[in-house]
Every structure is written in structure tokens, then in C-alpha cells.
Amino acid sequence: MKRAGLLLLTLALCLAFAVPTRAEAGSEEAPKTMEALVEEELNTWYLSLVDRFDTPWGVVLRMVTGGIPHAGIEELVLFTPAGEKKNLLGPVPPTDAWGRTAINHLRLSTNRRYLTFDSTFSSAAYEEERLLHEAGSYYFRSDLSTGETELLRFDPASETPCVCASPQSLTVDGVRREAEKYNIGGSNYFRLRDLAYLMRDTAARFDVSFDPETDTVSIRTGTAYADGPAEAREADFSETCVKSAQSVEIDGVPVALTAYNLGGSDFFRLRELGELLGFGVDFAPETDTAMIATVSQEF
């Protein structure tokens, strides 16, 4: 009897330690939903909401301590339908040793998949001997379908480049064409609508449209431009040249293009457009001609 009682006591003790009580079993917290995470973030006492974007890939919140962008530590986070919280500022350089950031021109793409923004610094900054950021502008793109942010381009700070109306001739597939163009820092710049019009019947044709609500220029490849060229202007607007922060998308994907505004019109670097839109660009010094090729040919 004593042995049987001892066995029963041992079994009871084992079960007591092996099987959690009902209270213990219910003490594990269920995973939080996206809505709960967003609400929790919005109710964080030291954070203030600056921007919110609701997308098919989740909710993006731009928050800042103290409520003043650039004066506090900013957050740009994506809350996914799976209940994940993803930091979108991973590759963004800090403004100072306190970890503050400087986000400018935050935009959501027309297909609501991408966020673009930039960070501009007038001078470089160091923490002791560690470089925090260079002087210039960093351009970023966040893919909300993956939660990844990448650096698209860095433009070092420099003095205003040399600008003049370009005296060079232009050919498209060997045919002489006319368009308003400027030489900026040694490169030719054109208006998108002029190029779309000149290339409307070529293999590299593309359409151009503008969405005033999002302040975005959209380029659609493979589609012929149906409108006429941009308004012809005879005046030289070289003295009005300023850097343009115009938002541009190619087939729904935001891109960072080098652009300048002259007299109210944006001009884009020809070689950069060629690389992204699939046409060749070359220069014939003997005739001082910029040449666009949309088909394979010998320059």
C-alpha cells in the first residue's frame, strides 16, 4: 500500500509540473494584428503622426518625436497584414549622432507599391572619426511588397553647373530633328514631351503624362505619344536653372532622374533617359551632333 501510494504521489507530481494549468495555458499572448500594432504605435506618447499611407501591402506611418520633422528622431515603418513591423529607414544616413534623420519629398507611387523620398545635407557630418553622411542629396525608394529600402542615387553637393542653350544638332535614327535643349555641366538635357514626340514612331517610343494630385510624371514604355511637342520657346532660360525634385515613374516604378528646371520646364539628362528607356545615345564631334539610335546601327 505504501508503495502504491508513493507511485500515485509521484505520478501526481509529474502531471502537476508537466501539464500547465488553465490559467497558465491562457497566459500566452496571441500575435497582434496589423490594426492593433498601428493603434499601439499611434498611441505611443512620445511619437506624433506626420504621414500615413494605407496600401495593399500594409500601413505606413511616418512618426517623429516631438511632432517636428528633422528636429526629432523620425520613424518610417511598415505594418504588414501578417502583423510584422518593418523599418523603412535602414539605409538612410543619420543627420547627427543622436540618430535624427531628414526625410524630404515623401511620395507614394501611383500603384501604391513604392515610397520615394530624399535626404539632403549642405555639409558632411562626423561622429568623432566616423562619417555620418556626405554633403549632397540621397534618393531612396522603398518597395512595400518586400519592406526593403534602397539607395537610388547620391548627388554630391556642388556649385551650380555651367548652363547654356545647347548649340549641338540632334538626329534620331539618322534623321535631323529640332528640339529645345540645354547643355548643363557638359551633358545634353531635353524635355520629356519633346523626346516622346520625336520618338513616337520608333522602337523606343514612350508616352508621358502628369498627375497633378500626386505631382508625378509617368512614362509608359512601348506606347506612342499621341500629343504634340511641348510649347516651342525661343528665349534662353539658362539663368533660371535650378535643380528639379520632380517625381518620375517609369511603368509604375519610381526612378531618380537628374533634372533641372529652366523657365518653368523640367529638362532631363539624355544619356540617363537612354539607359532607362532603351535607346542609344552617342556624339559625333566632327559634326557637333548628338545622336539617338532606337535601332542597331553604326555611328
At residue 148, the 3 state secondary structure works out as strand
Round the CA-based radius of gyration of the chain to a whole number and report it: 28
pLDDT for the residue 124 = 85
Averaged pLDDT score across all residues of the chain: 85
The answer to whether 252 touches 130, Cβ cutoff 8 Å, is no
At residue 7, the 3 state secondary structure works out as helix
Q: Hey, what amino acid is at 58?
A: G
66-117 pLDDT, tens digit per residue, is 656 555 678 899 999 999 999 999 999 888 767 677 788 899 998 999 999 9
What integer is the mean pLDDT of 6-13?
A: 48
- Identify the top-confidence range among 51-55, 65-69, 153-157: 51-55
Asked if residue 299 has pLDDT above 60, the reply is: no
The answer to whether 24 touches 52, Cβ cutoff 8 Å, is no
Take residue 283 and report the three cell numbers written for it: 556624339
Under the phi-then-psi rule, with left for phi > 0, alpha for psi from -120 to 50, and beta for the rest, what region is 222? left
Alpha carbon distance 268, 261 (integer Å): 9
Q: What angle do CA 41, 152, 279 make, to 5 degrees?
A: 140
Take residue 214 and report the three cell numbers written for it: 500626386
Q: How confident is the model at residue 47 (pLDDT cuts 50, 70, 90)?
A: confident
Alpha carbon distance 294, 229 (integer Å): 19
Alpha carbon distance 75, 71 (integer Å): 12
What integer is the mean pLDDT of 116-138?
A: 86
At residue 41, the 3 state secondary structure works out as helix
Determine whether 182 is exposed, middle or buried from the number of CB atoms within 10 Å of its CB (0-12, 13-18, 19+): buried
pLDDT for the residue 246 = 86
Q: Kindly provide the b/e burial profile for residues 9-34, where b requires at least 16 CB atoms within 10 angstroms of the residue's own CB.
A: eeeeeeeeeeeeeeeeeeeeeeeeeb
DSSP letters, 74-109, are: EEEEEE-TTS-EEES-TTPPPSSTT-----EEEEE-
Asked if residue 20 has pLDDT above 60, the reply is: no
What integer is the mean pLDDT of 220-227?
A: 94
Alpha carbon distance 160, 292 (integer Å): 27
- Please give the torsion angle defined by the CA atoms of residues 292, 293, 297 and 299, in that order, rounded to the nearest 10 degrees: 10
